[in-house]
Amino acid sequence: MSIPAFGVGTFRLKDQVVIDSVRNALDLGYRAVDTAQIYGNEAQVGQALAESGVARDALFVTTKIWTDNYSQAKLIPSLQDSLKKLRTDYVDLTLIHWPAPGNGVELEEFMGSLAQAKAQGLTRHIGISNFNIELTRQAIAAVGAGEIATNQIELSPYLQNRQLTAFLTEQGIQTTSYMTLAYGKVLKDAVLAEIAAKHEATVAQVALAWALQLGYAVIPSSTRRENLASNLKARELQLDADDMARIAQLERNGREVNPEGLAPVWD
């Protein structure tokens, strides 16, 4: 299966802000929307989707199961609740949000429940988020080769995660990049600014084009319609080998998101 290469994220967006962001994104041509149970905005995302007039089969909707719902007793009911909020009979992709080692639910249990959700038609595809190599291996063993559609991980020019992304490619698992702009930190980068000037592009477009050219899917968010439109233009930006080599040198293990108790030991 193919994860859409370009979607809109909704992390940290609430209430009317997220409704407007998703509505604008769909109006501009986005068709993939990423949310999560913990974001507290599934109902508002669902409202925006329902009011957009875009046919359901033209959309690709992703949500993520929160750690409180990993047990066999809770995972499927929690996903059914998400579907009600999203006003849909199914989502296209459901992810385990964090591996949360030691939270009392074994990986085999929550991956097994996720596979059951797929078998019941609640989700078209299943995947993981924030899993390292070893935990990805365990997830593959739990549900079978070819079943995991993506691993959604933090990736930016400052955190390039080469070992993990190479492993995912070997396994035929799509990499989805979140935090591609590193909370906006890369927007001030001098090297990226030079590359942007060379191409008459924005720095955000350069960072997103970098990820796209490496074969990753991206899900940038914005509350501003003009930024949503500008981000989409990254699909048309072709960086050359020199640009890509210069960006490769920006790696500095610049991780922005690493919650204690939820994150694994990173590769």
Angle formed by the axes of helices 75-86 and 107-119, to 10°? Answer: 50
Sheet holding 123-129, edge to edge: 8-9, 32-34, 60-65, 91-96, 123-129, 148-154, 174-178, 217-218
- Catalytic member of 30, 39, 178, 216: 39
What is this structure's pTM?
0.97
Domain 8-248 falls under CATH 3.20.20.100: yes
39 noted as active-site residue? yes
pLDDT tens, 227-246? 999 999 999 999 999 999 99
Question: DSSP H helical segments within 2-132, as ranges?
Answer: 15-28, 42-52, 75-86, 107-119
| Residue-range domain boundaries for the chain | 8-248
pLDDT tens, 105-157? 999 999 999 999 999 999 999 999 999 999 999 999 999 999 999 999 999 99
Within a 10 A sphere around the Cβ of 40, how many other Cβ atoms?
15
User: What pairing do the DSSP bridges indicate for beta strands 8-9 and 32-34?
Assistant: parallel
